[in-house]
Every structure is written in C-alpha cells, then in structure tokens.
Structure 1
Amino acid sequence: MSSETARHETSVSTHILDTSVGRPAENVALTLSVRSGPGGDWNTYGASKTDADGRCKDLPALPEDTTHVRLDFDTETYLASKAAPADQQAEEQQDAPRVRDSGAFFPEVAITFAVQPGEHYHVPLLLNPFGYSVYRGS
C-alpha cells in the first residue's frame, strides 16, 4: 500500500477503561459494522477483542463509501467475569443494593457515529457495571 493510499483511508480504533476498578478492560469482544447513507443496511465488517491494555488496534480500514460506523461491545461477558468481587464489595457498603439482577445493567454497548473519508476515529469507552461514557478521542 502506498503512503498516498494510506493517507486517504478512513480508520477506527478503540479502547475500554473499566472505571469501576480503574484498569483497562481486557478481552472484550467487539464487532465493527458499516453502512453507506443513513438508510443503508448495516454490514458486519470486522471483529476483534481488546488487548491487555484495553485497546483494539487491528480493525480494518473502512470501505470507501462508508458514512456511518457502529461498534458493538459485548460488555455482559466481560462484566460477568468481574462481578463476584464487585458484588461482595458492594454489599459491604451501607447504601449498596443487596441483590443484583445481573453482573451488567448494560449487556452490550452499541456506539454509532458518522465518518468522513480520510479521517481516523478513535472511540474510547469508559465502562462500569451501571453506566458508560464514550467520546471521540485522538
């Protein structure tokens, strides 16, 4: 691939921080889907998992006609693997719920955003069992 081609590719990367423990969220599965135009059909275009640093750097460059991207994160599997110690700690707090219906209030997180050709989009996810936040990073 020439440097001219690489300069015009549209790309996406992401990382996840588990704010309940202040650490990267490792081994979270995610799927990348793309579409052309607001009414277009979603097409799965890539899949990956976060690494030990909570990062996912191996998503493919987007097709030329992509206008919208969706990242689907499997947060339930990750949070369920972390639920037992958090449940024990929460129950020790006075105002903590005594019974939880799940290890994750949000079993999945889907983030949809618009893209422009030739731009790079870094989309960090800040996650905890009862909430999340997302922003366009650099």
Structure 2
Amino acid sequence: MGLSTHVLDTANGKPAAGMTVSLYAIHGQEATCLSKHVLNNDGRTNTPLFSDGALQAGTYRLAFEVAAYFKAQSTPQNDPPFLNVVLLDFGVADPTQHYHVPLLVSPWAYSTYRGS
C-alpha cells in the first residue's frame, strides 16, 4: 500500500516541523537516495514516501537529520551533538500492507516502532 513517517520532538513536546528526512533503498552495501522531504507543521511529509502500488518488498532506510533540526530549534546540545543523523533501516516483507515508521526523538535518545 504505502509508506509514511511521523516525527515527534519529545524534548520540546511538539511535532518536528522543519526536520529533513531522506528515504533510501538498500541493496547489499549500497544505499540509493529515493527522495528527500522537509516535515510539515504536523511532523509529517506533505506527500507519501510511497503511494499505493509503488512500494516494493525490500530493505529501506530513513535518515532523520536530528542535530540540524534541534540546532534550528535552539534546543541545547553538546558539541559535537550526541545524535547527528538517526538512520533507521527496516524491511518491507509485504508491500500490500501499509508501513508507518514513526520516530520519537530528543537530542539524547530516540524510539521507533512499526505503526499503523
């Protein structure tokens, strides 16, 4: 069906509007960038990462530019930041299902899960 993401800034208690997220296809040791997005005011992409029928079985990576986002928010971080880019590699076994990959993030920790 499709692929979506949603990022919540747990340090500031709000959606991560303005964070840049890149989507990659992983083939062995190679990562091919498929698209780059800036999250909207709800912490989501304005368009689906994959729309109906385009998602294929395989391995993918979402790269969340966490440090740049928190710097733009004036959220205190170490120098260098503890988290710079959060890379989430995940597998799509059944492309007829929807895959939602949310990220809960602060400058010091993150959590993810397969959402609905």
User: Under TM normalisation by the shorter chain, which class is it?
Assistant: 0.7 to 0.9
Q: Deviations over 1:73-105 (max 9, x none)?
A: 11111011123xx44xxxxxxxxxxx9324x41
TM-score (norm 1): 0.72
The one-letter code of the counterpart of 1:79 is: F
Runs of 5+ unmatched residues, structure 2: none
1:60 equivalent in structure 2: 50
> Is 1:114 aligned to residue 91 of structure 2?
yes
CA distance in 1, matches of 2:85, 2:78: 17
CA distance in 1, matches of 2:43, 2:79: 26
Percent of pairs identical after alignment?
35
- Structure (1 or 2) with the larger CA radius of gyration: 1
Q: How many pairs does the alignment contain?
A: 112
Question: Over the residues paired in the alignment, what is the CA RMSD in angstroms?
Answer: 2.0
Q: Deviations over 1:18-72 (max 9, x none)?
A: 0011100101111111135xx26321111111110001252234453x4101000
CA distance in 1, matches of 2:36, 2:78: 30
Contact preservation (8 Å) 2:8, 2:15: yes
> Is 1:70 aligned to residue 61 of structure 2?
yes
Alignment of 1:59-98 (within 5 A): 59-61=49-51, 62=54, 64=56, 66-83=57-74, 86-87=75-76
Greater share of residues in strand: 2
